[in-house]
Amino acid sequence: MKNIYLDNAATTPILPEVIDLITKTMTEFYGNPSSTHQIGRKSKSLVETARKNIAKQFNAASNEIIFTAGASEADNLILRNAVTNLGVSTIISSKIEHHAILHTIDSLIKEFSITVYWVDLDEKGGVNYKHLDELLKQSDEKKLVSLMYVNNEIGNLLDIKQVSDVCIANNALFHSDAVQGIGHFKIDTKETPIDFFVSSAHKFHGPKGVGFAYIKKGFGINPILHGGEQERGARAGTENIHSILGMEKALKIACANLEEESNYIQKIKSYFISELKNNFGGIEFNGYSESETKSSYIILNIRFPKEFPMLIFNLDIKGIAVSGGSACQSGANKGSHVLNEILSEDDALKTSLRISFSKFNTLDEIDYVINSLKGIIK
């Protein structure tokens, strides 16, 4: 049976060279970076070199990178510090953010007297930048805007430069969950003076359980995990050396080959869109996922004209891994909060699939998926 992986927005396969480096690091560099002996100092040096190299990819300073266990922790660290440490009393976000943002905001509402505004979205889930500006001008309260760079379900791209500019003009802070963007799009913190963003290594062919927070120089950050003084006091816990070095390696490879790989993956995505239109009637694309300019080249969210309750299961039987976008597809009672927000009630009940590509996919695989869909739907 074939094994076709089209769920790269969920996680990506680890590169062989990254696995080799992780294995070498676990074998040879096992010292605690906080230890003062030679073995510990070597581990500390490797961690700090990785920090510098990761920072360079974003034209940032090494002390602006804080290593975490992933983006969810990094989001929590930034949002909580904004409220408890940086004087933020108002958060502006959208209702189609990742749950790492939405659930953290819910928690902060319960714990603190903060105001939350939801920016308007267009019919495809695009941010209404005019409304964002209006929300920022409503009062003089310290505000934080938290909007994701690439929506993980429908692939919509945020104009982070425009949001950065409007936040600066209104003396607001800007945070972005950039998980689906890092390693796939270029971010230059000098050209786009964003205050905070987060990343997870497993979204760009690195290991799971490691990520980082970018925190612009000048913001004091208090830990949410208490214990030792690691990460300059911002995060307690012995550093995950082998995973940090694996993340550095994966990011270096991704950034070095970004243009070539993005062009290749876009061709795969465009071919899939064309084949879907040629072989199926009534196909729609959720969000801006069909667009080459308003969507990530990684993500395509398809909506069929009716419900096919066993579609993901039947694709899985044929060795095809994809994600769903409705209650019957995901196993969740409420379905996709993103699709429920932007679709009509009738359309939200129709079967949606999220297809997410990588450099390892081929046109032959797409042909196999199309033929499998034809057989299943027939």
Residues in CB range of 211: below 8 A, 6 or more apart: 67, 68, 69, 70, 71, 73, 74, 179, 198, 199, 200, 201, 247
Phi, psi of 128 (to 5 degrees): -85, 100
Contact 21/368 with Cβ under 8 angstroms?
no
Contact 44/53 with Cβ under 8 angstroms?
no
352 SS3 class: strand
Contact 235/211 with Cβ under 8 angstroms?
no
Rounded CA-CA distance 129/147 in Å is: 11
The catalytic site residues sit at 328
Rounded CA-CA distance 321/11 in Å is: 12
Which residue, chain included where needed, has tokens 């208490």? Answer: 226
Q: Classify residue 377 by its DSSP letter.
A: H
Contact 142/85 with Cβ under 8 angstroms?
no
Rounded CA-CA distance 225/73 in Å is: 10
Rounded CA-CA distance 253/23 in Å is: 18
